Every structure is written in structure tokens, then in C-alpha cells.
A and B are shown apart, each in its own frame.
Chain A
Amino acid sequence: MSKVLVGVDGSDASRRTVDFAVELAKDFEIGIIVVHVIPWSPYSFTTSEENEHRHLQREVELVAAREQIVEPAIHQVANANIKVEAVVRHGHPVEVMIEIARERGVRHIIVGRTGDSRIKQALFGSLPTQLILHSTVPVTVVP
């Protein structure tokens, strides 16, 4: 069964995005994968002290993301009687979403329009713009 991937971040826009995905999933009778990516880069510079606590910190981040961001989204989907799975992973948000889409045969990615500052958007492009440029499957951006 093919699926639709929804990127969530716990914001209002993110809730609207999940609602939209639920509608879509109902129409096409497909499942949903809820994805949250914790921004992280293996090429960032860290201190020894951070490294010492990194393993522990990672667990804390994963638990927090699951409890505060992903689980509310799962409830939102499950309440509509739609099959749902969830993934929380560290990495570059755009790259990880595309990777998961490839891994799990996702045919559509849905994300909210994020709240990046105008300057940041002008410099680096917002997450949805980057996703549209790099994704191999159709992308829907929910305002």
C-alpha cells in the first residue's frame, strides 16, 4: 500500500498539515507516515563536554520529540481511523524526508509552510522550497 508522508514540527501550521493529510488519505484510502526530523549535522563543531553527553542528549531529544510532537500527530491521524506509522530521526530535514520517502515507497510528501525568518528564507530558501527542488515525489505545501 502506498503512503503519504507528513512532516510535523508541533506548530499550528503542522496541525493543519496533518488535517489536510488525513483528508487526502481518506479520499485515496492510503496510510500516513508522520515524520519529525531533529536538525543535526555530522559536520558541526562541538566541544568535548558536549560530545561526552551526546549519546545521552540524543536519547532525551528523541523522547521529547516523540512525546511532544509526534504523538499528538499520531492521535490526530488515528482518530480518523487511518493507518499511521511514525519516524523520528536526526539529520538535515529535507534530506531525511526524501530518504524516508525513498525507503518506504512514499508517493506524496506534505509539509506546512514553516516560520523561518524572511532573511533566512532569502539566504537559504525555506524548507518547503528546498523540498520541492529535491524531492522525487510530488510535494504539497499547506499554508
Chain B
Amino acid sequence: MTTETLTVLAEEGKSLDDTISDAVAPVADAVTNTVFYEIMIGDVAIKPIVIWLVTGALFFTIYLGFQQIRGFKHAIRLVKGDFSDPHDAGEVSHFQALATAVSGTVGLGNIAGVAVAVSIGGPGATFWMILAGFLGMAAKMAECTLGVKYRKQHADGTVSGGPMYYLRDGIANLGKPGLGKFLAAAFAVFCIGGSLGGGNMFQANQATAQIINVTGGDNSPFVNLKWAIGLIFAAGVGLVIIGGIKSIAKVTEKIVPFMAVLYVSACLIVIFGNLADIPAAFGNIFVGAWGKEGLAGGFIGVLIVGFQRAAFSNEAGIGSASIAHSAVKTKEPATEGFVSLLEPFIDTIVICTMTALAIVVTGAYKAPGAAELDGVALTSSAFGSVISWFPTVLAFAVILFAFSTMISWSYYGMTATGYLFGDSKQAELIFKIIFCVFIVIGATLSLGPVIGFSDSMIFLMSIPNMIGLYLLARVVKKEVMGHRERVRTGEFAEVK
């Protein structure tokens, strides 16, 4: 290729990137402003939607009696298979349901989202993120218990579940079938939006950003070719979800756990590479949690940022993971509720905290020029400050996380499409095509509108879902407490 054609390509690319950006960004911004309207109380900006999620998580923490502590050991024994009937060998195990759900949640939210939180809210946001992860465990337990209880076995023997089904059938059992159907449909619509936003555009956007970042930043040959990177991602995802090339998805599923271990190890190396700064970092996190200079709203502002990013990452109360958890083979729905406690734990309390510590310990968030770094670039600079080639390791992790999260979310979106259109193959195909188009759009836009749109859609999902969880709270409690009782009496016993 001559330099001339390269230049032409670059110019075309530039215009293409900009064209897509100019067309989509205003729409995304409008959606964001509607969902995240702020109520000013004095000079504190409150986002009602974040309060909505936290209240729900807090409610279930108290209502279910702190199962995230009391049920933690039981959850681990369930995942280990201590209670699994050998005659169920070959069915979906608790471990598999959990691992599948985790691969959907662990994504760029853990790497880039956390960086966004620390750069806006300071180190203190980490504290609120961990707390939100802890409370989120209870909300997750509620939605996953219901997901299994009301899942549907279709005529062909396949099993699907999730908020659509517990909202429709669970609320119908309470004598309000109309409300149930309405909430279920609303959830399905927002779930399609969420799969295109947080489950797609945000992932594609930040994976692309990191590829550009490690290939030279502003001097990268790809800087104006974001759409082309997006196209490659779209082709990869398309091969799996449209082309049915399952082997790619299988390989990804098998590599992702190792990437997660690699990522956490890399974080630990970064953190322990700055051993002397660790006490100060914890100091900053605890002091910062109660307020940051320059951030409007003091500690409430930090809290909102921390909670928002945690919720975006672990999806507790959003309902998405309930779709993945519902496939498990179990006699008691509450068992998967217990197992699902571990998901926000792994996602937020372990992985998000690692990212945050790496950024805080290295001081990357306050380095000169840090203000211009958005999302993944900040995590990358924290990694690079310890070992120069670590950003490349990060790039591999990011690409794989993005890919597996996109595949998982395409499944969530497809389940929602299937629910809305009576499992019409045609509707599902149209959804898959739109999904791939959004990958290209997501890769091209700047982070601002992408994260705004992604957050909006994810949080909209939580409205019908949380209403349903409140209405069905007694059902959840009955399942969870009944299960605890049967474990205590030995009726639900360990398999020797």
C-alpha cells in the first residue's frame, strides 16, 4: 500500500469516525440527560436512579438478614458441589452457572469503569464501590432465586429464565397479571437497550481505546481507524452469534478465567511494586470517602460516583445475570440465590478493588495529564508506571473481556428479543445484526456519550426489575429461609 492510499484511507476514516460520532452522540446525550436527571438539594446533585438501586440492595440486605455474610460459606460449598446429586451429572452445575454469569459481568466495567470512578470521585469512590458491591450481593441473591423459581422449560427441552419470566409469572401469581406483563415487557425492551449499551458499545469503545493506547496513543496508525477496529470486533462477534461458530465462543470462555487471574496478578504486581505507598493509599480511600475537594456535593458526590460504577460493573438489581444463573440444575431455587452472592463479591469486592488499588497506589489518577485520560487509559497508565510492557498485557485482557462480555450480553438481548417477539427467529436475527452494528458505533464514539447511554440503559432495566423484586420479596424470603431451614434439619443434605 502506498503512503498516498494510506492517507486517503486515513482521511476517509477520520470523516467516517466523525460522521458516526456526530450522528449518534446527541441522541446518546439526550437519553443520558433524561435518565440521569439530577435533583439539586442545596449544592448537592442527587441522581435518583442511583439511590433507587442502593435502596433496593440495602433493603434486601436487611430483609434477608445479611445473607452475604451468613450464607457465604454455604454458597462456596454449593459451588464446590458438596450438595450435588451424582445422578444430575451432565446437567448445568452451580459452578458453571456462576462462571457463565461472571464472564458476563467481568468486563470493561471492572477496568475502565473503576478508572472513571476514581478520576471523577477520587480514591474515596473505592470505599463506596466496595460497600455497593457488598449490598449488591443481596439484590443479586433475590433476582437469581426468582430467576430459577420462575424459569421456563420450553417444548424443545431448552431452559430460559430471567426477569421477564419472574415479572410476568411471579406477579401474575400475586393476582396482578396485567402489571406483571407490563413490567416484563418494559424490562425486555430496556434489556435490549442495555445489551447494546453497557454490554456492547462501552466494551467496544474501551477495548478500541486500549488498542490505540498501546499502539502509540495519538500517534497510533489506528487513531482515525476506530471504525475499522470496531468492524473487526463486529466480525468476530458476528461469526459467533450469527454464523453460529461456537468454537470461538468456547475458546473465549476458556481463556477468560485465565485472563481474569492474569489481570488480578498484574494488579497485585502493580500494587506490591509500590509497597511503601499502600498504607497511604488506604488512608486516601477512607479519608476520600467522606469528601473530595473540588467535587460538588462532597461525600454524597463521591458516594454517587462509587455506587454508580459498582452497579454498572456488578449489575446487581439490574436483572441481567439472573438470565445466566437460571440455567442451573437444582431442586431448590434458593441454592442459586446463595451461589449468586459470590458474583458481586468476585466482580466488585475483588476485581474492581484491585483496579482501584492499582490506580490509587501508583498515584496515576493525580499524575500530570491524568485529567485527559479517560477510562481504560488511566488504568493503563497505572500499569505502565510499574512495568513498561504491562499496558500490552492489559490490552489482551481488555480485548478478551470485551469480547466475552459482548457475547454474554448478546445472549441476554436475544433472550429479551425472543420474549418480546414470541421466539421469532427473524426478530432474533435482526437483533443480532443491530448488535453487530452497535459494536462499530461504540468503537467510534468518544467515551462520554457511550458511557452515558450505557449507564442509562442499564439503569432503566433496574426500574421494572426492582419493582418486581419488591413485590416478590416475600417469595424470595420464603425460598431463602426455607432452604436455610432444610439445610439445618438435614433435609437438604450434603452428598457423601
Contact = CB atoms under 8 A, between A and B. Distances in A.
Contacts of A38: 90
Interface stretch (A28-36, A45-53, A73-81, A121-129): A45-53
Nearest to B161: A52
Per CB-CB distance, the 3 closest pairs between chain A and chain B, nearest first, are A90-B90, A42-B93, A51-B327
B89 A89 contact: yes
Contacts of A44: 96
Nearest to B81: A42
A41 to B, nearest CB: 9
Interface in B136-190: 153, 156-160
B89 A46 contact: no
B159 A49 contact: no
Given A42-B84, A55-B158, A48 B95 contact: no
A51 B97 contact: yes
A83 interface: no
A96 B156 CA distance: 30
Nearest to B256: A45
Given A48-B324, A56-B158, A61 B90 contact: yes
Interface string B66-103: 00000000000000010010100111111111011001
B158 A52 contact: yes
Contact of A40 (B90, B103, B407): B90
Contact of B329 (A40, A47, A55, A91): A55
Contacts of B96: 42-46, 51
B281 interface: no
Given A45-B257, A56-B157, 14 more contacts: A38-B90, A40-B90, A42-B94, A42-B96, A44-B96, A45-B256, A47-B253, A49-B246, A50-B246, A52-B327, A53-B158, A54-B91, A91-B89, A91-B90
A51 B92 CA distance: 6
A139 B90 CA distance: 26
A110 B411 CA distance: 45
A59 interface: yes
Given A43-B93, A58-B90, A58-B91, A48 B411 contact: yes
Interface string B233-270: 00000000000001001100110110000000000000
A43 B408 contact: no
B84 A54 contact: no
A3 B409 CA distance: 51
Range for the number of chain A residues in contact with chain B: 20 to 34
Interface in A80-121: 89-91, 96, 99
Contact of B159 (A42, A47, A55): A55
A52 B249 CA distance: 15
B interface, by DSSP: helix, strand, loop or mixed? helix
B323 interface: yes
Interface of B: 81, 84, 86, 89-97, 99-100, 103-104, 153, 156-160, 246, 249-250, 253-254, 256-257, 323-324, 327-329, 407-408, 411-412
Interface of A is mostly: helix
Nearest to A43: B95
Contacts of B103: 45
A46 B100 contact: yes
A47 B97 CA distance: 9
Nearest to B250: A47
A65 B396 CA distance: 40
B88 to A, nearest CB: 9
A48 B92 contact: no
A49 B100 CA distance: 10
Nearest to B99: A45
Interface centre among A46, A51, A56, by most chain B C-beta atoms within 10 angstroms, is: A51
A125 to B, nearest CB: 22
- Pick the most buried of A48, A56, A96: most chain B CB atoms within 10 A of its CB: A48
A70 to B, nearest CB: 15
A48 B158 contact: no
A51 B86 CA distance: 18
A40 B99 contact: no
B92 A49 contact: no
Contacts of B159: 51-52, 54-55
A99 B157 contact: no
Contact of B253 (A42, A46, A52, A90): A46
Nearest to A91: B89
